């Protein structure tokens, strides 16, 4: 049994794609840049807001100045509309309750800015998570293992006692870099192929699969 489950936020705990995409499209539109269908944002998000903006801009417009001004507008819009459509995925609330009842610690590690990460987690889940960390200025982002290892250290848990759950290659690589097992979540923004190609140890078809992996029930390892 694992002692700690670290979760990614967007695409893992909460479906935030529409709010992220709408805010980005509004920011792009303000400066006369083309907007995108929501499905494209599945591949734009995951590496932090500056990379989201860069990916959303036309290739020949990805200057530092454009990224900076569109990001500033995005931050303003998203700050007032981060929870219009964002909700926990079906089954997540039950998963969290069952892990808590089992005595397994839970944490969140996201490339979303730290203030947004903490606000969303607090509003959606209260104080059930033992540690919540988003992207902080001056600190490396995932897939660098810094954020995951810092959480483990703060909770006194080793990598071999930790399961990292996420929906993208970034999360699978983060787990590998941190030396812990990973579970790829199929309800998120990316594909099974991406998760398996990037080293997912387990694949979860539904949130409660994570509970089974965490406590050692019906374990089927991909690798």
Identify the domain containing residue 180 by its residue range. Answer: 4-15+86-215
Last residue of a domain, one of 66, 81, 96: 81
Mark whether 210 and 101 lie in a shared domain.
Answer: yes
The tally of domains found in the chain comes to 2
Mark whether 165 and 101 lie in a shared domain.
Answer: yes
Which of 8, 10, 19, 181 is the catalytic position?
A: 8
Q: In this structure, what CATH number is given to the domain that contains residue 24?
A: 1.10.150.240
Last residue of a domain, one of 59, 81, 103: 81
pTM of the model: 0.94
Mark whether 197 and 162 lie in a shared domain.
Answer: yes
Mark whether 209 and 130 lie in a shared domain.
Answer: yes
Mark whether 103 and 170 lie in a shared domain.
Answer: yes
Classify residue 166: in a domain, yes or no.
yes
Classify residue 198: in a domain, yes or no.
yes
Whole-number pLDDT of residue 223: 56
Q: Three-state SS across the chain?
A: CCCEEEECCECCCEECHHHHHHHHHHHHHHCCCCCCCHHHHHHHCCCCHHHHHHHHCCHHHCCHHHHHHHHHHHHHHHHHHCCCCCEECCCHHHHHHHHHHHCCEEEEEEEEEHHHHHHHHHHHHCCCCCEEEEECCCCCCCCCCHHHHHHHHHHCCCHHHEEEEECCHHHHHHHHHHCCEEEEECCCCCCHHHHHHCCCCEEECCHHHHHHHHHCCCCCCCC
Whole-number pLDDT of residue 222: 61
Per-residue pLDDT of the chain (223 residues; tens, 9 = 90+): 999 999 999 999 999 999 999 999 999 999 999 999 999 999 999 999 999 999 999 999 999 999 999 999 999 999 999 999 999 999 999 999 999 999 999 999 999 999 999 999 999 999 999 999 999 999 999 999 999 999 999 999 999 999 999 999 999 999 999 999 999 999 999 999 999 999 999 999 999 999 999 998 755 566 5
Question: Is 8 tagged catalytic?
Answer: yes
Q: In this structure, what CATH number is given to the domain that contains residue 181?
A: 3.40.50.1000
Mark whether 100 and 74 lie in a shared domain.
Answer: no
Classify residue 220: in a domain, yes or no.
no
């Amino acid at each position: 049994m694992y002692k700690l489950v670290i979760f990614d936020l967007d695409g893992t705990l909460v479906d935030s794609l529409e709010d992220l995409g709408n805010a980005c499209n509004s920011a792009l539109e303000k400066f006369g840049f083309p907007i995108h269908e929501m499905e494209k944002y599945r591949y734009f998000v995951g590496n932090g807001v500056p990379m989201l903006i860069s990916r959303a801009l036309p290739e020949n417009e990805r200057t530092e100045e454009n990224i900076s001004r569109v990001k500033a507008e995005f931050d303003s819009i998203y700050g007032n509309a981060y929870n219009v459509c964002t909700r926990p995925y079906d089954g997540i609330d039950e998963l969290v309750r069952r892990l808590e009842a089992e005595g397994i610690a839970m944490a969140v590690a996201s490339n979303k800015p730290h203030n947004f990460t903490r606000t969303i987690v607090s509003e959606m889940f209260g104080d059930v998570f033992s540690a919540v960390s988003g992207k902080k200025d001056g600190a490396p982002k995932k897939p660098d293992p810094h954020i995951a290892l810092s959480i483990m250290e703060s909770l006194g848990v080793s990598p071999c006692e930790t399961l990292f759950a996420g929906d993208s290659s970034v999360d699978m690589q983060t787990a590998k870099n941190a030396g812990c097992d990973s579970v790829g979540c199929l309800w998120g923004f990316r594909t099974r192929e991406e998760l398996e190609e990037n080293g997912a140890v387990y694949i979860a078809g539904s949130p409660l699969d994570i509970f089974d992996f965490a406590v050692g029930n019906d374990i089927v390892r991909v690798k």
